[in-house]
Amino acid sequence: MSEETSFFIHDIIDEDLREGRVDAIHTRFPPEPNGYLHIGSAKAIFINSYTAQKYGGKFNLRYDDTNPEKEDNEYVESIYEDLKWLGAIPTGGIFYGSDYFSKCYEFALQLIRQGDAYVCDLSAEEMRETRGTLTEPGVNSPYRDRTVEENLALFEKMKNGEFPDGACTLRAKIDMASPNLNLRDPAIYRIKHAHHHRQGDAWCIYPMYDFAHPIQDALEGITHSLCSLEFENHRPLYDWVVDHVGFEKKPHQYEFARLNVTHTVMSKRYLRQLVFSGSVDGWDDPRMPTLCGLRRRGYTPTSILEFVRRAGVAKTYSNVEIELLEHCAREELNFKAPRRVAVLEPLELVLENYPEDKVEYFELNNNPNDENAGTRKVPFSRTLYVERGDFRKEKEPKFFRLFPGNEVRLMGAYVCRCTRFDEDENGNVTRIYGELDLDTAGKNPADGRKVKGTIHWLSKEHAYALTAVNFEHLFTRENMSALPEGTDCLDFLNTDSRHELCAFGEPSLAEAKEGDTFQFVRMGYYCKDTRYENTFNSVVPLKDSKGK
């Protein structure tokens, strides 16, 4: 990142340290392994890992694997790879929520013995009906006054698999009249006869997140449990669990607004829908906001973290323009990416006064922003490829490239005058012709005439065939964080968001490795794809699509 960052959570930590409430900082990132991480996850990773680093503390990775039905080891591995890629090393260790199942069970028994929890036979629908509203209190469950002995016996039967899914739950006994709906006797254990990716079939009851999470934090010594704003109303329940279990060192929860980005979705449910409906080419599709998708497209960890930093950390929801992310990538790649020539929409240019059997080489800069980047030699011959967009049949206002009678500089080589062109029966240009000023190799015309336009080129004989893939926004709607009622993300899917071009590049691109990123001069930044051979994905264009 470009500079040290501070935000409101750090003000809280500064006061906690000053007042002696804590003497060391310990944070955690608790993803559920039911999908791949996305750029919204990067904000949570940044806040937690950077905060621990800033204060010389520890940072844990803890997999929230308390819901066995959608979790998979594939996601476990991908999450760790993404953290490593971002440079967020779990200095405090790697943990799993399932590691604490026995502890959670013991604490549930403790709550029952204390009279703070009971087994309830109401169905999920009946619980919703008796929960009440924001203006009306809930109704006590008819099972709320079961004795401790009854509850212990029933909970044991739940654990032993004697009840089917949904037959009953263990609920915390708090206050059905509480103005906070999360305190109206929430379920803290449910029955799920499902195979767990780590625990196998050892358990058929699983703790709810609001019960398990504060216990996990306390057991790991987390001091500041940093989470997104939708958990703000859950904080009293977090504190209730910590207090009633009786932890001496109490973690505290603090909330921040999650990251929303225009023209994309952050809901893991929607991301799964995109993948499993076949709307995208897997979790790592370069159009996806997943970290593996951004990596495949060519975004760097530093550009993503810089985007998160610039987007800011606050308690107010906002919708950050995706153009800011593109700007951060472009800003970095401008200084780091080697330059290479690629012609994305090729048109033949025949140099009629250049020998047919001659080949010479011109030196081009690898990166004008890096004095140590050096140069490379690019072959030049009689027949070249140029961009179709660099030619017009007739002169047009403010168009200084190729048209009959006009001169351009062939980048790093000669001045060329366009003489004529061929076209097919439909009026499509099939080939153009030109003549070189053979005295202008690497220098200006001797008579002092001005040449306004410069274009890039490739020797047809030496060109390397490649596929260039350009992308548009995956969704047509800008604000995907608030969809109209009765719609979902697929209703706004841009079905024309991926464009393949049969292109050519200079010979050195044949040696590019997967993940190598280049500036295709005058065209944009492109990254060698990790899945398809000879394919380069567009990272960002050379210029912002919106003014910054």
Residues 6+ apart with CB under 8 A from 475: 263, 264, 265, 489, 492, 493, 494
Q: Which homologous superfamily is 8-258 in?
A: HUPs (3.40.50.620)
**Mean pLDDT of all residues in 340-345:** 98
For this structure, is 258 an active site residue?
A: yes
**Mean pLDDT of all residues in 96-125:** 97
Amino acid making up residue 130: T
Residue 1 has pLDDT above 70, yes or no: no
Annotated active-site residue in 190, 268, 295, 340: 268
Distances (CA, A) of 321 to 185, 279, 301: 41, 23, 19
**In a 10 Å sphere around its CB, with 0-12 CB exposed, 13-18 middle and 19+ buried, how is residue 77 labelled?**
exposed
What confidence score (pLDDT) does residue 2 get? Answer: 46
Residue 82 has pLDDT above 70, yes or no: yes
For this structure, is 268 an active site residue?
A: yes
Residue 547 has pLDDT above 70, yes or no: no
Per-residue b or e along 234-272, where b marks 16 or more CB atoms closer than 10 Å to that residue's CB? bbebbebbbebbebeebbbbbbbbbbbbbbbbbbbebbe
Q: Which homologous superfamily is 261-338+466-540 in?
A: Glutamyl-trna Synthetase; Domain 2 (1.10.1160.10)
CATH architecture of 342-456: Beta Barrel (2.40)
Residue ranges per domain, the chain?
8-258, 261-338+466-540, 342-456
* Model pLDDT for residues 373-423, shown as the tens digit of each residue: 999 999 999 999 999 999 999 999 999 999 999 999 999 999 999 999 999
* H helix intervals, 277-363: 291-297, 301-311, 322-336
Residue 246 has pLDDT above 60, yes or no: yes
Rounded Cα distance, 229 and 226, in Å: 10
Annotated active-site residue in 157, 258, 392, 417: 258
**Mean pLDDT of all residues in 66-71:** 88
pTM of the model: 0.93
Residue 160 has pLDDT above 80, yes or no: yes
For this structure, is 32 an active site residue?
A: yes
Amino acid making up residue 521: V
What confidence score (pLDDT) does residue 545 get? Answer: 63
